[in-house]
C-alpha cells in the first residue's frame, strides 16, 4: 500500500498505479484505474493537485511537495503541512459542516490527501475579477468564520481537548513562519523577496516611514503568534474559496494554526475589499457601480452574519470553561453584554488584520490576480494606492470604522480618491 | 538507581537509602547517607518536601504526590506537574539567573527534584505578617517578572524554540485547570469548595451580582488560557517567595505555563496588597503606618523596575520575530513608543489580574495566612472587605490606576474606609 512507501511525488503517469488499489479512492473513481483520467491542476504555488476521474466519479488528489513550488527547491518546506491540512479539514467538517471538501483518504508519509472534487465550482477570485455574483457569499463566509472561531475555542471545547490540539498544532512552525514574515513584517520594509508596482513607490515609501503603523502591525503579529484562541484556516483569501452561483466552499487550510478569532474574518474581508478596489480595471462603466455595491454588500453580510452566528452559538453551545453559565444565566445575569464586548474586540482586530492583508498583497511576495492582471501599471498603481491607504486607516484607527456603514463609506471615499 | 523504580513516595526513613547513591545528592550532603538528617517540611498543600542535611551541606528534596495533599486522595493530581516544575526551574535559571533555587538532580518517574536549600531564607508571607522588611524586594520581583516575561517570549526566543516550548507545556492540563477554576471562576459564584469569613457575606453577595465584573474576569481568563505570550511562574504569591533581610528568591513554579506577560506581576502585587490590608491586625499603631507605607513602596518599586528592566531588554535583547529592528532602528524609527504601548497594556492587565488574585484569596478555596490568622472574624472581614473592594476597582477600571500614585492613593483610601 502507498503509505508503506517512502515519500515520492506523484506524477500523472504513476498516480493510477499508486492509488488504484486504495479502496476509498477506487470506490469513488472507478474500479479500473487504467481507465482513470488524470489532470495536474496545481496553481504552481506549493503543491501537486490532480483531478482524477473515472466511471464512478471524480476526486481531487493533493500532495505536498518538500519545497515551495513557485520558488523551487531552494526554499524547502516541510511535508508535515499536509498533516496539518488534514487535521484542519477534519475539524472544519465537524465545526462547520458542508463547507470544506470531504476527505476520503489520507496518507501521512506521502503527505497526500484525497478529497471531494468540487464541481462546477470555480475559484472565487476568478469570479470576482469576471464580475460574477455568488448568492449568500458574505453570509456563508461570515457563518463559517463564526462557527470555526467559537467551536475551536474554550467557549465550546473542553480544556483538555483544546490544549491537546494547541500542542498538536504547535508542531507546525514552518508554515506560520511564512505568514509571520510575508504578511506581518516584509510589507513594511524593503525585504528581499518583496515587489510592488513601480508607480506605487511614493505611497509605499510613506507607508514604510509610519512607525506607529508598524508598531500596531507588530502588536497584531504578537497576538497572531501567541494568542491561541481558536483554530484558524490561516489563509482565507478569495483563492481559498470556491463557488458556484449559489454554493460557497472553503479549501486549502494548510496554513491552519491556533490563533486569534479575528484573523480569518479580517483576511476574507480584505480580499473582498481588494476585489472592490480593483474593479475599475475589470468592469465597464455601466456595470461597475452596481458590482462594487454588491461587493460592499457582501462585506456587510459577512460581518453581520459572523456576529449573529457567534451570538447564536454563545446562547446555545457555551459549554467550555469560558464565561460559564454558572456565573451568568444561573445567577440571573445575562451574558449578552459579555458576548457583545467580545464581538467588539473581534471586529476591531478583524479590521486591523484586514488592513494588513490589504498591504501585503501589493507590497510583499504573494500578490493577487485582482491587481496583478491589470496590465496598465499606472492604473494598477492608482487602484493599489487606494487599497493601501484604506488598509492603513483600518490598522491605525479601526475603532472609527467599527460601524459597517462607516466602513463602507471609507471604501467608497477611497474609491473616488485620486491618490496617484 | 532510583529512576529505574516505579513511582514510590519518599519517607523520612527511606530517603537516605533511596538517594544515598545518587552522586549529585551525596556530593552535596555527605558521603555517609546513614548520617543524614532528614526533616519533612512540606506545608501540606501539594507535595512532600524534605530538608536533607549532612557533613557536606544541605539540600531540599521535593516530590510530587499523586493527589492534592490538603484535600486527600479524593482529588488526584498528576505527578507530571513535577516535570513542568523542573522545566520551569531550568528556564528560570537561564532567563533570570540567581532567583530560583539551583537544581541538582531530577528523577522524572519519581517526580522528584533535588535542589538548593535556601538558608536562612524564610517564606516572605511570614515576614510580611511579622512586620519584617526585605531590602530590594519590589525591585527583585519586578526585575524577575520582566526578565521572565521578555526572555520567554518571541521578543527574544526564536519562533521554533518558543513554539516547541508551548507544545511541551500544553501537556500540562490539570495544573492550569486549578488556576482556571479556583482563581478565575469559583470566587464569583457559590462554588462547592469556596469558603469566606461569615461577616464578609454582604460584600461577597454584592460582588457576585456584578455581571460586568464577572464578564471582565472571564475575558482575562480567556487571555490566561489562550494567550501564550511567555512562560509564567503561574503562582507567584508571597508563599512562593523566600527571603532574608537582603536576598529574595522565588520557589515552587509547578503552576508554570505559557500565558500573558502581565499575570505573574499582577499576582505578586496582589499579595503585597493583601499584606498591606491585613496589617492593622498584625501591627501595633506605632509601627503600622510606617510598615504599610513600606509595602506601598515595594509595590511601586516592583512596577517601576518591571518597566525599566523590560525597556532595557527591549533595547538590548530584541532578537525574536516581534518588533524586529529591520522595521524600526534600521529605518531610523525608534521602537520606544511601541515598547511603552506594550508596557501600558501589561500594566492594565496586571492591575486586573491583581484584583482577581485579591478576590480569590478570600472567596475561593485557597486562602492566605495574612487574613486567615486574624482570629477576630469581625476584624478579619472588615479588612478583607477593603481588599475585595479594591480588587473590584482594579478589575473594573484599571486605566484609572495606571499611574502608581493613583494606585497607592486607592490603597490608602480603602485602608481608611469602613466598609463593614
DSSP string for residues in A33-59: GGG-EEEE---SSSEEEEEEE-SS-EE
Write the ipTM.
Answer: 0.96
Q: Quick check: B211 and A328 CB within 8 A?
A: yes
Q: Quick check: A225 and B176 CB within 8 A?
A: no
Per-residue pLDDT at B42: 80
Q: Quick check: B322 and A177 CB within 8 A?
A: no
Per-residue pLDDT at B24: 95
Mean pLDDT, chain B, whole residue set: 96
The confidence band for A1, taking pLDDT boundaries of 50, 70 and 90, is: very low
Residue A110: strand, helix, or coil:
coil
Q: Which residues contact B11 (CB under 8 A, 6 or more apart)?
A: none
Among B154, B185, B214, select the one facing A226 at the smallest CB separation.
B154
Whether residue B114 has pLDDT greater than 90: yes
Give the DSSP per-residue string, B168-205.
Answer: HHTT--HHHHHHIIIIIIGGGTT-TT----GGGHHHHH
Q: In sequence order, what are the beta bridge partners of A112?
A: A63, A107
Domain boundaries, chain A: 2-116, 122-416
Burial per residue of B264-302, b for 16 or more beta-carbon CB atoms within 10 angstroms, e otherwise? bbbbbbbbbbbbbbbbbbbbeeeebeebbebbbebbbbb
- Shortest distance, CA B111 to any CA of chain A (angstroms): 22
Mean pLDDT, chain A, whole residue set: 96
- The CATH number for B2-116, chosen from 3.30.70.270, 3.40.640.10, 3.30.200.20, 3.30.360.10, is 3.30.200.20
E strand intervals along B263-371:
none
Residue carrying the nine cell digits 497576538: A223
For residue B159, the chain A residue with the least C-alpha distance is A173
Burial per residue of B83-112, b for 16 or more beta-carbon CB atoms within 10 angstroms, e otherwise? bbbbbbbebbeebbeebbbebbbbbeebbb
What percent of chain B has pLDDT above 70? 99
Whether residue B3 has pLDDT greater than 80: no
Q: Among A56-65, A232-241, B69-78, where is mean pLDDT lowest?
A: B69-78
**pLDDT average, residue stretch B15-44:** 93
Of the residues A163, A188, A213, the best mutation for testing chain B's interface (the one with the most B CB atoms within 10 Å of its CB) is: A163
**Stated length of chain B:** 420
Per-residue pLDDT at B46: 81
What percent of chain A has pLDDT above 70? 99
Of the residues B150, B184, B211, B257, the best mutation for testing chain A's interface (the one with the most A CB atoms within 10 Å of its CB) is: B211
Contact indicator for A309, A265 with CB cutoff of 8 Å: no
**pLDDT average, residue stretch A334-363:** 98
Which residues of B fall within a CB distance of 8 Å from A154? 222, 225-226
Closest CA to A138 of A275, A18, A17, A13: A275
The confidence band for A420, taking pLDDT boundaries of 50, 70 and 90, is: confident
Q: Quick check: A209 and B331 CB within 8 A?
A: yes
B11 phi/psi in degrees, rounded to 5:
-135, 160
How far, CA to CA in Å, does B65 sit from each of A198, A205, B2, B71, B73? Answer: 67, 61, 16, 12, 9
The confidence band for A3, taking pLDDT boundaries of 50, 70 and 90, is: very low
- Shortest distance, CA A395 to any CA of chain B (angstroms): 15
Q: Where is B58: in which H helix or E strand?
A: strand B58-64
Q: Where is B27: in which H helix or E strand?
A: helix B23-29
Per-residue pLDDT at B1: 43
A233 phi/psi in degrees, rounded to 5:
-65, -45
- Shortest distance, CA B149 to any CA of chain A (angstroms): 13
The confidence band for A166, taking pLDDT boundaries of 50, 70 and 90, is: very high
Distance CA B13, CA B3 (A): 18
What percent of chain B has pLDDT above 90? 94
How many angstroms separate the most distant Cα atoms in chain B?
A: 67
- Shortest distance, CA A315 to any CA of chain B (angstroms): 15
The x, y and z cell numbers of residue B170, run together, are 500544553
Whether residue B374 has pLDDT greater than 70: yes
Which residues of A fall within a CB distance of 8 Å from B177? 159
Dump pLDDT digits (tens) for A94-141.
999 999 999 999 999 999 999 999 999 999 999 999 999 999 999 999
Per-residue pLDDT at A69: 77
Distance CA B30, CA B388 (A): 50
Dump pLDDT digits (tens) for B156-207.
999 999 999 999 999 999 999 999 999 999 999 999 999 999 999 999 999 9
Per-residue pLDDT at A2: 45
Distance CA B306, CA B141 (A): 8
Whether residue B274 has pLDDT greater than 60: yes
Closest CA to B214 of B174, B254, B234, B187: B187
For residue A258, the chain B residue with the least C-alpha distance is B226
How many angstroms separate the most distant Cα atoms in chain A?
A: 67
Fold type of domain B122-416: Aminoglycoside 3'-phosphotransferase; Chain: A, domain 2 (3.90.1200)
**pLDDT average, residue stretch B55-74:** 89
Dump pLDDT digits (tens) for B381-395.
999 999 999 999 999
Contact indicator for B259, B267 with CB cutoff of 8 Å: no
**pLDDT average, residue stretch B271-293:** 98
Which residues of B fall within a CB distance of 8 Å from A228? 166, 226-228
The x, y and z cell numbers of residue A387, run together, are 487599497
How far apart, in Å, do the first and last CA atoms of chain B sit?
A: 59
- The one-character DSSP state at B261 is T
Contact indicator for A385, A200 with CB cutoff of 8 Å: yes
Q: Quick check: A214 and B327 CB within 8 A?
A: yes
Closest CA to B157 of B384, B365, B329, B321: B321
**pLDDT average, residue stretch B262-276:** 98
Dump pLDDT digits (tens) for A27-61.
999 999 999 999 999 876 789 999 999 999 999 99
The confidence band for B289, taking pLDDT boundaries of 50, 70 and 90, is: very high
Q: Quick check: A222 and B328 CB within 8 A?
A: no
The confidence band for B69, taking pLDDT boundaries of 50, 70 and 90, is: confident
Q: Which residues contact A65 (CB under 8 A, 6 or more apart)?
A: A9, A46, A47, A48, A77, A79
The confidence band for B44, taking pLDDT boundaries of 50, 70 and 90, is: low
Q: Quick check: A229 and B226 CB within 8 A?
A: yes
In terms of DSSP bridges, do strands B47-53 and B58-64 run parallel, antiparallel, or are they unpaired?
antiparallel
Contact indicator for B91, B77 with CB cutoff of 8 Å: no
Q: Quick check: B226 and A188 CB within 8 A?
A: no
Residue carrying the nine cell digits 454588500: A297
Per-residue pLDDT at A4: 60
Dump pLDDT digits (tens) for A191-213.
999 999 999 999 999 999 999 99
Dump pLDDT digits (tens) for B307-366.
999 999 999 999 999 999 999 999 999 999 999 999 999 999 999 999 999 999 999 999
**pLDDT average, residue stretch B369-380:** 98
- Shortest distance, CA B170 to any CA of chain A (angstroms): 5
In terms of DSSP bridges, do strands B72-76 and B230-231 run parallel, antiparallel, or are they unpaired?
unpaired
Cα A351 off chain centre by: 15
Sheet with B122-123: strands ordered across: B122-123, B241-243, B248-250
Dump pLDDT digits (tens) for A233-260.
999 999 999 999 999 999 999 999 999 9
Of the residues B262, B325, B327, B395, the best mutation for testing chain A's interface (the one with the most A CB atoms within 10 Å of its CB) is: B327
Distance CA A162, CA A153 (A): 7
Q: In sequence order, what are the beta bridge partners of B106?
A: B113
Which residues of B fall within a CB distance of 8 Å from A181? 321
For residue A186, the chain B residue with the least C-alpha distance is B327
- The one-character DSSP state at A227 is B
Per-residue pLDDT at A44: 66
- Is the backbone peptide bond immediately before A120 cis, with ω within 30 degrees of 0? yes
Closest CA to B324 of A181, A57, A300: A181
Distance CA A419, CA B13 (A): 83
Distance CA B412, CA B295 (A): 11
Amino acid at each position: 500500500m502507498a503509505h508503506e512507501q517512502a515519500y515520492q511525488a506523484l506524477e500523472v503517469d504513476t498516480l493510477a498505479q499508486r492509488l488504484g488499489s486504495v479502496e476509498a479512492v477506487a470506490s469513488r473513481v472507478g474500479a479500473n484505474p487504467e481507465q482513470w483520467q488524470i489532470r495536474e491542476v496545481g496553481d504552481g504555488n506549493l503543491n501537486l493537485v490532480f483531478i482524477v476521474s473515472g466511471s464512478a466519479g471524480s476526486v481531487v488528489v493533493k500532495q505536498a511537495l518538500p519545497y515551495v513550488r513557485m520558488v523551487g527547491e531552494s526554499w524547502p518546506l516541510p511535508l508535515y503541512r499536509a498533516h496539518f491540512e488534514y487535521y484542519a479539514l477534519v475539524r472544519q467538517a465537524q465545526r462547520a459542516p458542508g463547507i470544506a471538501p470531504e476527505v476520503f483518504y489520507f496518507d501521512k508519509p506521502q503527505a497526500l490527501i484525497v478529497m471531494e472534487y468540487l464541481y462546477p465550482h470555480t475559484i472565487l477570485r476568478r469570479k470576482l475579477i469576471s464580475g460574477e455574483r455568488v448568492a449568500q457569499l458574505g453570509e456563508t463566509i461570515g457563518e463559517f468564520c463564526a462557527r470555526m472561531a467559537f467551536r475551536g475555542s474554550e467557549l465550546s471545547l473542553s480544556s483538555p481537548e483544546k490544549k491537546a490540539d494547541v500542542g498538536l498544532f504547535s508542531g507546525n512552525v514552518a508554515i506560520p513562519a511564512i505568514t509571520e514574515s510575508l504578511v506581518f513584517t516584509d510589507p513594511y520594509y524593503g525585504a528581499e523577496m518583496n515587489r510592488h508596482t513601480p508607480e506605487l513607490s511614493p505611497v509605499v515609501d510613506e507607508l514604510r516611514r509610519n512607525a506607529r503603523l508598524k508598531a500596531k502591525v507588530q502588536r497584531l503579529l504578537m497576538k497572531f503568534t501567541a494568542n491561541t484562541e481558536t483554530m484558524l484556516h490561516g489563509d482565507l483569501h478569495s483563492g481559498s474559496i470556491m463557488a458556484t452561483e449559489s454554493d460557497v466552499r472553503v479549501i486549502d487550510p494548510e496554513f491552519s494554526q491556533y490563533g486569534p478569532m479575528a484573523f480569518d474574518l479580517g483576511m476574507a474581508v480584505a480580499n473582498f475589499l481588494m476585489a472592490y478596489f480593483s474593479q475599475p480595471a475589470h468592469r465597464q462603466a455601466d456595470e461597475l457601480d452596481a458590482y462594487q455595491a454588491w461587493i460592499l454588500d457582501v462585506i456587510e453580510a459577512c460581518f453581520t452574519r459572523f456576529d449573529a452566528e457567534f451570538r447564536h452559538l454563545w446562547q446555545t453551545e457555551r459549554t467550555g470553561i469560558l464565561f460559564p453559565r454558572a456565573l451568568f444565566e444561573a445567577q440571573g445575569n445575562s451574558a449578552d453584554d459579555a458576548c457583545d464586548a467580545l464581538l467588539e474586540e473581534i471586529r476591531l482586530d478583524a479590521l486591523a488584520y484586514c488592513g494588513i492583508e490589504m498591504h501585503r498583497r501589493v507590497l510583499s511576495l504573494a500578490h493577487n490576480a485582482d491587481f496583478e492582471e491589470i496590465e496598465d501599471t499606472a492604473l494598477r498603481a492608482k487602484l493599489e494606492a487606494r487599497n493601501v491607504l484604506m488598509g492603513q486607516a483600518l490598522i491605525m484607527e479601526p475603532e472609527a470604522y467599527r460601524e459597517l456603514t462607516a466602513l463602507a463609506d471609507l471604501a467608497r471615499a477611497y474609491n473616488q480618491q485620486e491618490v496617484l
